[in-house]
Amino acid sequence: MLILGLGGAILHLPILYWLALTPFFGLVCIVAGWRNFATAGSRMHLIWSQILIWCALLVAIYVLYSSGVQGLTFNPNANPLALVTLLALGTFVAGVQARLWQTCAVGIVLFLAVPGIGWINQSLIFLVGVSAVVIILGGLAWAVAERRTNA
């Protein structure tokens, strides 16, 4: 869930991605939370509450992207950040309702990643440089380890 949410924001994926991701997150919450509810009634409550949570999130995404609001609230670079924030809130609330601390943790990490994603979007050259340094250092560490095992 975390990789899908963060990846969509970093790559600036289109609205259709977010509209498909939202029900997928809901389905994951239902499947993961199923074992936390023993009776048929409590499981039906889980299903309906998750449907309501994720439908509310879809409505919020629709409102953000409707023609009457688009252009008034966010610039194109801020849209993915707004979507990750909404997804983080929905994930956290769904995790609380489904009694899944792991899902709550995903929501918290998504929320905390929003400033980082904004920074990443503004610092692409720096990121490429850091990635190159990490790859070079990793390659050197691997070469040294190989040399020691062969010696």
User: pLDDT-derived band of residue 39, with 50, 70 and 90 as boundaries?
Assistant: very high
User: pLDDT-derived band of residue 121, with 50, 70 and 90 as boundaries?
Assistant: low
CB 80 within 8 A of CB 110: no
Indicate if the pLDDT at residue 73 is higher than 60: no
**Domain-wise residue ranges, the chain:** 2-122
List the Cα angle 58/118/22 in 5-degree steps: 20
Model pLDDT, residue 76: 63
User: pLDDT-derived band of residue 103, with 50, 70 and 90 as boundaries?
Assistant: confident
Q: What tokens does 139 get?
A: 């390659």
**Residue 85 is which amino acid?**
T
Between 116 and 18, name the one with better pLDDT.
18
